[in-house]
Chain A
Amino acid sequence: MDNTQIKEAPQDASAEGYNTPVATGGKSMEIRNLKAYYGSYLAISDVNMEIQPNKVTALIGPSGCGKSTLIRCLNRMHEVTPGAPRVEGEVLLDGQNIYAPSADPVKVRRLIGMVFQKPNPFPTMSISENVLAGIKLNSGRLNHAQAAEIVEQSLHRAALWDEVKDKLGKSGASLSGGQQQRLCIARTIAVNPEVILMDEPCSALDPIATLKIEELIEELKAQYTIIIVTHNMQQASRASDFTAFMLAQDGPGHLVEFGPTQQIFTRPTQKRTEDYITGRFG
């Protein structure tokens, strides 16, 4: 890795302001010997994974095995957690180490977006302000038409436009849980990331809202690389192309098995994987 500089987000480069979210395409990620600590407590150890671009990779495993910790290491959110967090190892985005000394976590997070377990729209902002929140951070002034176009595009992509187009000025908090989560996805898409991380995005939602998000994920992977944590086995098998199974038995969380979802769910190579996906476990 001779070039460890994290490149500028595309919207910084265009002097004429932001262009509407043009898919730059998903990028690959590679995790090398990753260890994550809370203080002296080693939460995950020696994780190695290659994440394919424009695919959906699911992280599964029993609660407490370190799925959230791992996914938060992938956009440098681990370091903002309370409890003296620390990371060792490398995470490459399209070949560049996001933990290189010269890497700026703020820029990393612009390229690698995140959707959280509980929908977290900004309650003092309207729906359109929520969508624009990330863009307004880094592309200075947007004119009215540009802003309107980004809002419409992003909401379309998040499959929310038809439901909210008549109330864009209303607070994001006025939506249902599923709509709020899609608003959070729209807000993530709006900054045009290359990878989208989702930590149990459906666990606070009802089955219909869950299905909508799963359909959305299927559509989004054409443009973004998606990594999703889920404790729902059906969801992993339905929505993902690759599945990683983690476990924290007798020690820190680690990767037990990683491969095409199809294979993990039909012919797992590890006994523990089989036990887990057949429900004979935790």
Chain B
Amino acid sequence: MAANNLDMKIAPIEGIDRISRSRSLVGGDRTFFGLTIFASLLLIATLLALIVLLVVGSWPNIQYSGFNFTTSANWNPNITQNHPHEEFGILPYIFGTVVTSTIALIFAVPLAIGAALFIAEYAPRWLATPVSFMVELLAAIPSIIYGFWGLAVLVPIMYNVDLKTGKVSGVDAFLHDVIGKVPVLGSLFSTPGNGRSLLTAGLILAIMVLPTIMSVSREIILTVPSLQKEGMLALGATKWETIRKAVLPYAGSGIIGAAVLGLGRALGETMAVTLVIGNSSTAITPNLLSSGYTMSSSIAQKFTEAGSDPLYVGAIVEIALVLLIMTAIINGLARLLVIFSTSSALRGTRA
């Protein structure tokens, strides 16, 4: 009796098509599909257009300078008695970009991870919320303001002259006096300059990338399952051991990703760096107290100078092209690193 009832309920209703696609649904799906495809194609097209534009713009110089462009340290855009040929070598700019970005990461990454851990794991909520809000606000400040702050505050801290006695003080002088004589390490602080230096630029960059790295790291740390932390605590781990052995390894690849995001910003940052790096010396020297250039600061500084000389303009556009390629390579490497570190953990290739 009961079985019969059941049979009746699931018996097909004849004459009604229940499995064919309904028109309207298909239409809606198609529209949405079309929209997303369009959006992604537009993005790709924009990127391609950008690359084409950079290549076309730099073509005169690609032909003129060839590989010398990235391997030579000589930059002589105007023909003079001493320089019968124009020369475009950007090695010092590449060097400046690499050095300042490295300094930025060395200072910013540990600080950012520390702050992220504090906010995510230690601080009570009434403190964590305003602190993380304020750090995120730092990311919204325009870079020109960082630049002015650097000029007005940071540079005088690095280098200060007493107008009456002519005595030089500041961080640069201190580093030179204390570490300057130490073998190897001393070469980093061998010759103090006027406070506008690779080091100052690196420090400004560190402050600028800190909020990005911190807030991304904090998000990553917050995603670590509490079950992972409890598993470690239940083995008799202290809070700090739990963070070191359960939280950080789990969040590791994500934190690398956060650092790369920061690096991306450091590599391309222009205005703030331009104001505090000095834009003068093209020497490739280990001396961090020397002034210098980065690729982007050199673009900003030279663009007005280039006028309508197609070769000079081409050289500047090519700096942008090289910077783009560098950024792409670094991002690619970082992505590989992230993929490798997560997959090696998951596939269990670690010993």
Binding site for B on A (CB under 8 A): 9, 75, 77, 80, 82, 106-107, 109-110, 113-114, 116, 118, 120-127, 133-134, 137-138, 167, 169-174, 184, 187-188, 191
Contacts and interface: CB of A to CB of B under 8 A. Distances in A.
B350 to A, nearest CB: 6
B347 A171 contact: yes
A171 B249 contact: no
A171 to B, nearest CB: 3
B230 A77 contact: yes
A133 B350 contact: no
A169 B350 CA distance: 6
Interface in B207-257: 225-238, 241, 245-246, 249-250, 252
Contacts of A171: 345-348, 350
B351 interface: yes
A124 B252 contact: yes
Tell me the interface secondary structure of chain A in the complex. mixed
Contact of A110 (B231, B236, B346): B236
B345 A123 contact: yes
A124 B251 CA distance: 10
A191 B231 contact: no
Contacts of B345: 123-124, 171, 173
Nearest to B227: A120
15 contacts: A77-B230, A77-B234, A113-B234, A116-B230, A116-B231, A122-B228, A123-B250, A124-B252, A126-B351, A134-B235, A138-B236, A167-B348, A169-B351, A170-B347, A173-B348
Contacts of B238: 106
Interface residues of B, number: 27
B82 to A, nearest CB: 59
Contacts of B231: 116, 120-122, 184
Contacts of B225: 120
Closest 3 A/B residue pairs (Cβ):
A170-B348, A110-B236, A171-B348
Contacts of B249: 122, 124-125
A107 B237 CA distance: 9
Contacts of B241: 137
Contact of B236 (A107, A120, A121, A170): A107
Given A109-B233, A122-B228, A124-B250, A133 B348 contact: no
A137 B245 contact: yes
